[in-house]
Structure 1
């Protein structure tokens, strides 16, 4: 059995990044969560990767989970990319190997930005339901859900679970609220709020600041990206259409993609069994090569 151990890193602005290490003793694999999530979203997948003899490192990105809320309010994709580059270099130095990365949504774009603007840094990359080309209506839907109860919060875990169930009606009902508890913080007024800095959505340098320009830069640069990349797309995704996936793999020379049936944008949460199988296959193949 591989147990989770605490580990820490430092972001591009000196901001503390809290992480977990699942130490299988081999190749390091960094896991970066999506916007509004925490590192705990990767627990099951990280454990599976460690059991296959790799080192899984799941990280709370800036402003999320237990990592610091940055005083500068810098929450644009470029800032997350700079953090990812700093993190990748620290993992390389600590474990004496160029790591691979698995990034969902925000975490995927952060990893891709780091590699394309400061690389080569990575051994391989798994993008979970994200490409630089996104469905704008899907973006609005996701950010609308995130912002709807951002300040008001929830009176109980049950109330939060009901809101998520209404947003994700295709997902099976929760058997336990313990997993949800990891993505919420309980404030002094007794209410539960999402475990991230509200400036991520509403700050002067929020996640949408400069996003269009960066996405265009990434799309333009894809033909020069020779890193092995696996795009794992949820077939029900509201964010990445099949046309976006096909465009991505047609432009990035070493990219491939796989659809996960029954999954939406939250692929790992919807079908973690299929998701874990696909990324283990990809990472193991990459190591064997």
Structure 2
């Protein structure tokens, strides 16, 4: 295990790297920390994959403010470029949206072998997301949530132009993600594939880490030929 520090102009991002092999970058959801990936990383490391997980800015041990999507996306781009390509990026909720935003820059997209989105699409329904967050008393990042909604057109445009493989992992019926939103995403990028973990809620890494690790490993093995 190696402790990492990625210095940004206005933040210091703390991370952890484990294992050897091609890199899988793990980006947690809003309100979580890199610790949520611990059960997942053990599985991936066993399959000859190196894992890198940072606390996003304003989360866990990382400094900086988490009020805007753009700086978080810039952080993700810096994470990707700090690793030898190709990298597989895995983004849960906020982490997935930040990854999409980061891939608007062609050099960043070209550094990836594939992108796994965990229960998130570029155009979530604002009312449904707000209600989901309110029901769970998770409104501490309201400014960030509203800023993300303001970037929906840009996120959709980026998702549409991405040529790299994309796999969406859906949660079960308690997720704020709907069938209509998934279908809309697949219309935006017809090459995207989908798997569902029906027993898990939105925070799949927390609720079903073994199932999620198996899905990530299968996709990474296909894209990186590492397992």
Is TM-score (shorter-chain normalized) higher than 0.5?
Answer: yes
Whether the 8 Å contact between 1:35 and 1:106 is mirrored in structure 2 is yes
**1:17 maps to which residue?**
13
Measure the CA separation in 2 of the matches of 1:253 and 1:9.
Answer: 35
Q: Tell me how far 1:237 sits from its aligned partner.
A: 4.0
Normalised by the length of structure 2, the TM-score is 0.90
1:195-234 to 2 correspondences below 5 Å: 200-201=141-142, 206-234=143-171
**1:244 maps to which residue?**
181
Measure the CA separation in 1 of the matches of 2:32 and 2:131.
Answer: 16
1:105 matched to 2:105: no
Whether the 8 Å contact between 1:35 and 1:107 is mirrored in structure 2 is yes
Whether the 8 Å contact between 1:38 and 1:61 is mirrored in structure 2 is yes
**1:146 maps to which residue?**
138
**1:128 maps to which residue?**
118
**1:176 maps to which residue?**
none
Q: Which has the higher contact order (CA 8 A, sep 6+)?
A: 2
Measure the CA separation in 1 of the matches of 2:180 and 2:105.
Answer: 25
**Cα RMSD (Å):** 1.9
Q: Tell me how far 1:220 sits from its aligned partner.
A: 2.9
Describe the SS at the equivalent of 2:138: helix
Between the two proteins, the alignment pairs up a number of residues equal to 222
- The C-alpha deviation readout for 1:207-231, integer Å capped at 9, x for no partner, is 0353233111221333311111110
Q: Tell me how far 1:282 sits from its aligned partner.
A: 0.7
Measure the CA separation in 2 of the matches of 1:271 and 1:74.
Answer: 26
Q: Tell me how far 1:253 sits from its aligned partner.
A: 4.2
Describe the SS at the equivalent of 1:235: coil
Measure the CA separation in 2 of the matches of 1:266 and 1:279.
Answer: 15
Q: 1:61 to 1:214 in 2, by over 3 A?
A: same
Q: 1:271 to 1:74 in 2, by over 3 A?
A: closer
Measure the CA separation in 1 of the matches of 2:170 and 2:40.
Answer: 16
List gaps (5 residues or longer) in structure 2: none
Q: 1:105 to 1:122 in 2, by over 3 A?
A: same
Structure showing greater radius of gyration is 1
Q: Tell me how far 1:269 sits from its aligned partner.
A: 1.8
**2:35 maps to which residue?**
40
Q: Tell me how far 1:27 sits from its aligned partner.
A: 0.4
List gaps (5 residues or longer) in structure 1: 148-197
